[in-house]
Amino acid sequence: MLAAICAACTTETYDVVVAGGGASGTAAGVQCSRMGVKTLVLEQTPWLGGMLTSAGVSAIDGCYRLRAGIFGEFCDSLAQRYGGYDSLKTGWVSNILFEPHVGARVLDNICAGEKNLTVKKNVHFRYVRKHGGGWLVNADGIRYTCKVLIDGTELGGVAKECGAKYEIGNETGVIQDLTYVIIARDYGPGADKTIPEPEGYDRENYVNCCENALNNPATSKGQTLWSPQMMMSYGRLPGGKIMLNWPIEGNDFYVNVIDASRSERAKAFRQAKNKALGYLYFIQTELGMKNIGIADNEFPTNDGLPFIPYFRESRRIVGEARLTFEAVQDPYSYPEPLYRAGVAVGDYPVDHHHYANPDWKNLHKSYTPIPSFTVPAGVMIPVGVENLIVAEKSISVDNSVQGATRLQPVVMELGQAAGVIAALAVKNACRVREVDVRQVQTVLLEAGARIQPYLDLEPGDPDFKLLQKMGSTGLFKAEGRNVGWADEMWILTGGIPAARLDSMRVLDSLRHPFETSPVDWRGFDK
């Protein structure tokens, strides 16, 4: 009892507190620490990494050719552990696949090397309050005070508690399907890993998951039906495990729990788990793969499933800048020059999962091609709330483009950018919204990150930073392309002529327009 009373009275002080150690939150904490700022990351699960690890989505979507910054560091570590990048190309959904527990270890190792970073796991938030010019966070009865707070949670709940305005879903409030991923393994010929029939199991929910004798054209949703072998190799991981995260009559599940109570969420998650287990049960009993079972050496949970579901959609704050589908489609003609304030990049199509929704016919379709894009810094700065930065999937974007900004590489890059903004606010003794965008971009480039999605030059090239900076002024405009499934962006398709690079170098040597053209959070000249 005495220990409990003392714990309730404990207050710890940090410069920056990151609420949520997911993909964004972990990157934010690492970046803050590397800038000499005392930082705390609070994570509710036993693992860092969020959707990359705790949710089991261990197949990275996009940015394979745009690896840079902390995201690139994470990918390089995975490649080193598995024996090179070719060793990560085990399934056809991605060029970078890995076991979730390995990703968690990589992130632990990265964080362990940061002397200014403290990480606490299995922590549950109680409340957040203003504290002077900063914040007080109460988690499990311990109080943490900070100058800057970063929301890296899966659903943006901390931003809500801080008073940030937000939107949910489309115009009618519909959000994307979530998924309880299953990490399975093949236990070999003769093994029988058939699970008990899940509660509410209905075979008809899965008959069109792949080509099989039970296919029912009358209930088909028009999705491509692959062979069972292709379905099972979709998410094959290094080491032979199988990530079951199948969007075609598989384990996607529609429910909106963003503003739900704890009991409502628990009920919804049980239903989502049963939908996923029903998919596995169908594979075992109807497709004859009873040797495929839940991996017993992946998640240390009672049922072997991930710690959390894969949330594809969160709250979306009302920010100082708002990235829209139109801005991504044609950044140079859009009324606001958002690209000039870029701090993170992406190259994945607009991907919405709605087939588990009863109204799926009238909702956004997946895979709308777009050019590679940059995300402006202002999407992380909530209107009307001081010294709060919002990252992960809760940034200020429209419902459509959220289907591209929600993916792992983008949110990890946004986390790094959030860390830069927070650290600069602390070091410059200013409010978050007073931080200089150009200084943020400069620090990111020095840290090996990208602020523009150009494919012309790689980070190791001596002219890489010059190209990134010049493109951020608007003096040199890029060209977007779609090549098959790939989204691209080039300053000049096919490469940069020496004359153009020479002109950039001349401008740089005289008076760098990047340094002399400060911009606001939306990319406009100050």
186 burial (CB, 10 Å; 0-12 / 13-18 / 19+) is: middle
Rounded to 5 degrees, φ, ψ at 434 are: -95, -5
Nearest to 342 by CA among 221, 222, 489: 489
How far apart are alpha carbons 186 and 500 in whole angstroms?
A: 55
Q: How far apart are CA 92 and CA 482, in angstroms?
A: 19
- Reported as a pLDDT band with limits 50, 70 and 90, residue 197 is very high
Amino acid at 30: V
The residues near 114 (Cβ < 8 Å, ≥ 6 apart) are 29, 30, 33, 34
Looking at per-residue confidence, does 471 or 500 come out higher?
471
How is residue 413 written in tokens?
A: 């890059």
Identify the H or E element spanning 490. Answer: strand 486-490
- Report pLDDT for 523: 96
CB 37 within 8 A of CB 420: no
The CA distance from 44 to 8, in Å, is 18
Question: CA–CA distance from 340 to each of 209, 435, 470, 474, 522 (Å)?
Answer: 43, 15, 10, 7, 8
Say what the pLDDT of residue 304 is. 98
* pLDDT, tens digit (0-9, with 9 covering 90-100), for 211-229: 999 999 999 999 999 999 9
pLDDT in the model for residue 497: 64
pLDDT tens profile 104-136: 999 999 999 999 999 999 999 999 999 999 999
Sorting pLDDT into bands at 50, 70 and 90, what band is 510?
Answer: low
Structure tokens that stand for 239 in this block: 């080491």
Q: What is the pLDDT of residue 5?
A: 46
What local confidence, expressed as pLDDT, does residue 508 receive?
66
Residue type, 313: E
- Specify the higher pLDDT residue, 364 or 186: 186
Q: Which of 92, 99, 95 is nearest to 84 (CA)?
A: 95
Average pLDDT score, the chain = 94
- 415 or 498, which is more confident? 415
Q: What is the pLDDT of residue 6?
A: 46
Q: What pTM did the predictor assign?
A: 0.95
Is the predicted pLDDT of residue 144 greater than 80, yes or no? yes
Structure confidence by residue, pLDDT tens digits, 230-253: 999 999 999 999 999 999 999 999
pLDDT at 499: 64
Q: How many whole angstroms separate alpha carbon 61 and alpha carbon 409?
A: 7
Question: How many C-beta atoms surround the C-beta of residue 330 within 10 A?
Answer: 11
> Helix crossing, 100-112 with 23-34: angle to 10°?
20
For 296-338, write each residue's pLDDT tens digit.
999 999 999 999 999 999 999 999 999 999 999 999 999 999 9
Contact 165, 384 (CB under 8 A): yes
For the stretch 428-444, pLDDT in tens is 999 999 999 999 999 99
- Angle among Cα 65, 404, 469 to the nearest 5 degrees reads 55
Q: Which of 116, 480, 205, 502 is closest to 332 using CA atoms?
A: 480
Strands 11-13 and 242-244: unpaired
Beta-sheet pairing, 148-151 with 388-390: parallel
Q: Give CA torsion, residues 17, 21, 24, 30, to 10 deg.
A: 60
Q: What's the mean pLDDT in 15-20?
A: 98
Tell me: pLDDT of 264 over 90. yes
> At residue 125, what is the residue type?
F
Q: What angle do CA 499, 503, 505 make, to 5 degrees?
A: 115
In three state form, how does the secondary structure of 178-210 look? EECCEEEEECCCCCCCCCCCCCCCCHHHCCCCC
Q: Confidence class of residue 268 from pLDDT cuts 50, 70 and 90?
A: very high
Predicted pLDDT of residue 491: 82
Percentage of the chain exceeding pLDDT 90: 86
pLDDT at 485 over 90: no
